[in-house]
Structure 1
Amino acid sequence: MTDQERELQGIPSDHGEIHDLTNSQGHGFQCLLYDGLYFPMAPPALTKVGNQLEKYKSIKAAQLNKDDVVVCAYPKCGSHWLFEVLRMLTTGSLHHRKSQLRDHMIDFIFKDGIENLPPPRLLSTHLPLRMLPTQVVEKRLKCIQIRRNPKDACVSMYNNVKNMTLPKTYDGTFAEFTEAFLSGKLPYGSYHSYLTSWAAEVSPEQPVFYLYYEDMKVDPLKCVKDMARFLDLDVTDTFCKDVLEACSFKNLKEKEARDKQEGRYPGFWKKGSDATFYRKGEIGDWKNWFTVAENERFDQIWDEKMKDSGIKFTFSV
């Protein structure tokens, strides 16, 4: 990317090496490459963060406490929903807070933002384990990783990026995006690499609770109770049910609408967009997007990449 192109897109010249991941149709992403992972460029309205590369590097040195909890997920696998549920579980309050997921997201707030949050902290991230603060492993912080079937994650991510600034909107078709999703030529790289890298990097001593989005949809009360036990929380079944009602898809979508009206998403969505983090939340919506041929190709590539992982997904109910 030339200096002129950086200037036109509002990208500071000190942000590090920018990789152009556009395809032959000119559709794709500009990403910052760091430690083998593609990072999303900050939208123009958010470039006041300063040197983005140095900010990412700062994350590993962040000071954490033993009782901090980290929500881990590849993009569009349910982290917004899970975060709201866990926030209520860990605070014992059914009150919706004004702060949003991004205010607790390691990838966005970096070292200084992490350390400025009042403890105990509930943090969130799309990063692989090797890029998290070293104290996540050193202090054996509890992590909860939510996994979603890759086809629904792909559809959900496409519907997000085509309405984001990024710093420019994604203009490609769904078929083009699927190719980027499978090849990893997009922010945060490929989903299969995210999953396999976690499996390779995490030790048996690290307390990690693996949650499947589809299980959370089918039997949410069991999932919430299991997470509460993992976190050593003394909560009643009634409170767990109340948390699930407060964090229903309908209620979270209404909360997001209020947040938008109050201006809590500056520079994030393109102007005039009706984009939402809570679009459908269904299991199997991918069937409305993939052609038969696209689905077969997706299966072939995904199954080959994940054949030795032992991870199995539910694609429909």
Structure 2
Amino acid sequence: MDLSRPELFDFHGVFMTNYFTDNWDKVQNFKAKPDDIVVATYPKAGTTWVCYILDLLHFQQKCPEREKSVPIYGRVPFLELTYPPYPTGTDVADTLPTSPRIIKTHLPVQFLPKSFWEQNSRIVYVARNAKDNAVSYFHFDCMEKIQPEPGDWKSFLQRFKDGKMVFGSWYDHVCGWWEKKQTSSKIHYMFYEDLVEDTGRELKNLASFLGLSPSAEEMREIIRRVQFDVMKENPMTNQRDDPTLDFSVSQFLRKGKVGDWKNHFTVAQNENFDEDYKQKMKNTTLRFRVEI
């Protein structure tokens, strides 16, 4: 299996790699269903966490056996991923046995297949503050062998600010989806920091958006299962069997904290980042917390 690290290239104005563009026509022509639920995120913003929460909300009662036998990436396909010899994300989504289908994507809003809008599918967008997101992305790129070479932290941080990342600029991504949410009642926009602060509250809001009313006992069980340390020990969520990940470098589920950026940014890096951030975010109402 060839695990050579890919090159970044400009793809319709967004930096991408071939692992996410090789199946582009099928992705763009994907046939959505009205009850599909899309989990959309910029990479490393709590994607696996929210996918697992949604899967439990819908299926922990209906299909308890899947919990122990099918890893989360088999239950929630990654729409645009193309990684031979494995089936493509669109093929996995097309053959999902469950209804509703929960499908994850890192696509910026302008790349989401239009059938999701036409079918009025529900979309859960999760955003994480830029500093923690950058740190998490850095550690991930160090261990993920099908991501571009990360380089050192200093050069990585510069690339992050410049938007030269797989799936493009964090700023464009979170703001693009935020703008779309202002005109679409089908988008539930969540913040990673809120989820860390009060998982129960965010779960209730999510269930309400999905029209679900789980019992208090079900909610307690979901909250227990989605605690970071529990997921870290769960072979169905910690991706231990993913051949593209180098666990000698890092864990896939690493820290799950808010504020870890303080262990990585120098004072000067933090000041420069804040300056740059102010400029890039000056035209949006979107606000983030970098600590809780």
TM-score (structure 2 length as normaliser): 0.87
Rate the CA distance shift 1:68–1:273 in 2: closer, same or farther, 3 A: same
Conserved 8 A contact 2:232-2:238: no
Kindly provide the CA deviation profile for residues 244-286 of structure 1, in whole angstroms up to 9, marking residues without a partner as x. Answer: 101111111112488656xx302x124x624222111111111
Give the Cα–Cα distance (whole angstroms) in 2 for the partners of residues 82 and 313 of structure 1.
18
Match status 1:115 vs 2:127? no
TM-score (structure 1 length as normaliser): 0.81
Give the Cα–Cα distance (whole angstroms) in 2 for the partners of residues 40 and 311 of structure 1.
28
Conserved 8 A contact 1:41-1:166: no
Extract unaligned runs of 5+ from structure 1: 1-7, 12-28, 43-51
Q: Secondary structure at the match of 1:225?
A: helix
Cross-structure match for 1:30 = 7
Kindly provide the CA deviation profile for residues 8-29 of structure 1, in whole angstroms up to 9, marking residues without a partner as x. Answer: 9759xxxxxxxxxxxxxxxxx7
The one-letter amino acid of 1:162's match is C
Q: Secondary structure at the match of 2:45?
A: coil
1:54 to partner: Cα distance = 4.5
Give the Cα–Cα distance (whole angstroms) in 2 for the partners of residues 240 and 129 of structure 1.
31
Kindly provide the CA deviation profile for residues 100-127 of structure 1, in whole angstroms up to 9, marking residues without a partner as x. Answer: 3375111213433322223320011110
Q: Secondary structure at the match of 2:188?
A: strand
Further displaced range: 281-290 or 107-116? 107-116
| Aligned pairs, number | 279
In the TM superposition, what are the counterparts of 1:160-309 in structure 2 within 5 Å? Answer: 160-166=140-146, 169-170=149-150, 172-201=151-180, 204-256=183-235, 264-266=241-243, 268-270=244-246, 273-309=248-284
1:166 to partner: Cα distance = 2.4
Give the Cα–Cα distance (whole angstroms) in 2 for the partners of residues 141 and 260 of structure 1.
28
1:130 to partner: Cα distance = 2.2
Structure 1 runs of 4+ aligned residues shifted over 6 Å read none
Match status 1:74 vs 2:46? no
Conserved 8 A contact 1:79-1:146: yes
Match status 1:130 vs 2:110? yes
Rate the CA distance shift 1:240–1:30 in 2: closer, same or farther, 3 A: same
1:167 to partner: Cα distance = 5.6
Give the Cα–Cα distance (whole angstroms) in 1 for the partners of residues 58 and 158 of structure 2.
39
1:59 to partner: Cα distance = 0.8
The one-letter amino acid of 2:204's match is K
Conserved 8 A contact 1:130-1:201: no
Q: Secondary structure at the match of 2:33?
A: coil
Give the Cα–Cα distance (whole angstroms) in 2 for the partners of residues 59 and 230 of structure 1.
26
Rate the CA distance shift 1:277–1:167 in 2: closer, same or farther, 3 A: closer
Match status 1:105 vs 2:73? no
1:163 to partner: Cα distance = 1.5
Give the Cα–Cα distance (whole angstroms) in 1 for the partners of residues 238 and 41 of structure 2.
23
Rate the CA distance shift 1:259–1:314 in 2: closer, same or farther, 3 A: closer
Rate the CA distance shift 1:205–1:259 in 2: closer, same or farther, 3 A: closer
Q: Secondary structure at the match of 1:311?
A: coil
Structure with bigger gyration radius: 1
Cross-structure match for 2:287 = 312
Further displaced range: 197-206 or 117-126? 197-206
The one-letter amino acid of 2:40's match is C
Conserved 8 A contact 1:68-1:121: yes
> Which of 94, 104, 129 is residue 149 of structure 1 equivalent to?
129
Conserved 8 A contact 1:58-1:110: no
Higher relative contact order (CA 8 A, sep 6+): 2
Give the Cα–Cα distance (whole angstroms) in 2 for the partners of residues 258 and 239 of structure 1.
19
